[in-house]
Amino acid sequence: MRARVAVLDCRSLSEEENMRLTQTQKLLATAVVLLAGTAVLWWLVGYPIGKGIIDSPSGLSAFRRGYGFQESALLRLFALALVVPATLAVLASYPAQLRWPALAAIAIVAVLFVEDKVTTIGSLGVALFVLGAVAVSESEGRFLPAVALVAGFLVSFVYVVDSTYSTGEKLVVMALRAIFYFGPLLAGPHYIEAYVLKAARGRAG
112 or 78: which carries more pLDDT confidence?
A: 78
Helical axes 183-191 vs 71-93, angle rounded to 10°: 50
Helical axes 183-191 vs 120-137, angle rounded to 10°: 30
Q: How many CB atoms lie within 10 A of CB 123?
A: 17
pLDDT greater than 70 at residue 1: no
Q: What is the pLDDT of residue 12?
A: 43
Fill in the DSSP letter of residue 22: P
pLDDT tens track for 16-60:
444 577 878 888 999 999 999 999 999 999 999 999 999 899 999
Whether residue 126 contacts residue 114, with contact meaning beta carbons closer than 8 Å, is answered with yes
Q: What is the pLDDT of residue 14?
A: 41
205 or 75: which carries more pLDDT confidence?
A: 75
Rounded-to-integer distance, Cα 205 and Cα 198, Å: 11
Tell me, what amino acid is at 136? Answer: V
SS3 content of the chain, % helix, strand, coil (to 5): 85, 0, 15
Q: What is the pLDDT of residue 198?
A: 66
Written as one string, the DSSP assignment of 131-200 is: HHHHHHHT--TTHHHHHHHHHHHHHHHHHHTTSSS-HHHHHHHHHHHIIIIIHHHHHHHHHIIIIIIHHH
pTM over 0.75: yes
pLDDT tens track for 63-95:
999 999 999 899 999 999 999 999 888 888 888
Rounded-to-integer distance, Cα 157 and Cα 174, Å: 6
Rounded-to-integer distance, Cα 133 and Cα 82, Å: 11
Q: What is the pLDDT of residue 9?
A: 45
